[in-house]
């Protein structure tokens, strides 16, 4: 006889029966449970196959990505090494002393720069130009007023006893009176005076207009001539002092 057994009382029931005719058990529960079990079993196998199917391509893709990335890293490293080698090569080349005309030119420029400096011994006119320029540029008294770069200056060599007696440092018995113009008259006087000691110390004065013959005046500044020349060279005044030297007149009282 076709049919199923009731799981509760064991009575045989029809395949299409919904309830047991003997105990009334709901046979639909059995069918629903069986259907789910069968469906679940059928669904398990495809999922397993699906996981297996995706795993291998993912591994292969990862390997490909690693290989491609490694290739680019290697290429970049090679380019960096090549660039560094080129730079080192260029540095070595530029560091090598040149034997062409450019090197000679640089030497000449250096010599020209040195030759433009004022020498230690600038001569009488150069000494007056240097002292006047130094006093004017360092702000000693009103010496800037006697500096005439356009037309030049005149220095009068004086051995006047009254003038020398008014100076604390008489130098070697000679006073140098500086005028900011040329063509002196006999009555011209100046307040700007300097003397030179035997050790080349320069004594720079600015005397008052109403000179008191009974008074001894101290210099505004005492400075070694060599230090004065160094100052002018260090401040790039050498060319201007040389230009002024060509415009200096020396006269005796």
Report the C-alpha gap between 158 and 161 in whole angstroms: 9
pTM of the model: 0.56
Q: How far is CA 60 from the centre of its chain?
A: 54
Per-residue pLDDT at 71? 78
Per-residue pLDDT at 53? 54
Per-residue pLDDT at 65? 84
Can you name the residues that pair with 237 across neighbouring β-strands? none
Spatial CA neighbour of 21 closest among 32, 10, 34, 30: 10
Per-residue pLDDT at 163? 93
Per-residue pLDDT at 56? 66
Q: Taking the domains of the chain in order of start, what are their residue ranges?
A: 4-76, 117-252
Mean pLDDT by 10 residues, the chain (253 residues): 73 80 79 52 46 64 81 74 57 38 38 70 95 97 95 96 94 96 93 97 95 92 97 96 96 89
């Amino acid at each position: 006889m076709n049919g199923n057994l009731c799981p509760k009382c064991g009575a045989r029931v029809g395949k299409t029966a919904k309830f047991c005719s003997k105990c009334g058990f709901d046979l639909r529960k059995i069918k629903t449970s069986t259907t789910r079990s069968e469906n679940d079993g059928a669904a398990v196998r495809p999922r397993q196959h699906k996981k297996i199917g995706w795993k291998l391509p993912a591994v292969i893709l990862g390997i490909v990505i690693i290989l491609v990335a490694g290739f680019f890293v290697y290429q970049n490293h090679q380019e960096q090494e090549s660039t560094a080698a080129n730079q080192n090569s260029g540095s070595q080349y530029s560091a090598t002393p040149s034997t062409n005309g450019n090197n000679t030119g640089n030497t000449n420029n250096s010599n020209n720069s040195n030759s433009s400096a004022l020498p230690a011994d600038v001569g009488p006119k150069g000494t007056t130009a240097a002292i006047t320029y130094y006093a004017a540029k360092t702000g000693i008294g009103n010496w800037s007023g006697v500096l005439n770069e356009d037309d030049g200056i005149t220095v009068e060599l004086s051995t006047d006893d009254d003038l020398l007696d008014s100076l604390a440092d008489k130098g070697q018995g000679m006073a140098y009176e500086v005028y900011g113009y040329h063509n002196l008259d006999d009555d011209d006087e100046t307040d700007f005076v300097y003397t030179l000691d035997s050790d080349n110390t320069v004594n720079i004065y600015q005397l008052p207009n109403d000179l008191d013959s009974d008074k001894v005046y101290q210099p505004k500044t005492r400075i070694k001539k060599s230090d004065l020349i160094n100052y002018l060279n260090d401040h790039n005044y050498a060319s201007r002092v040389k230009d002024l030297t060509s415009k200096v007149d020396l006269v005796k009282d």
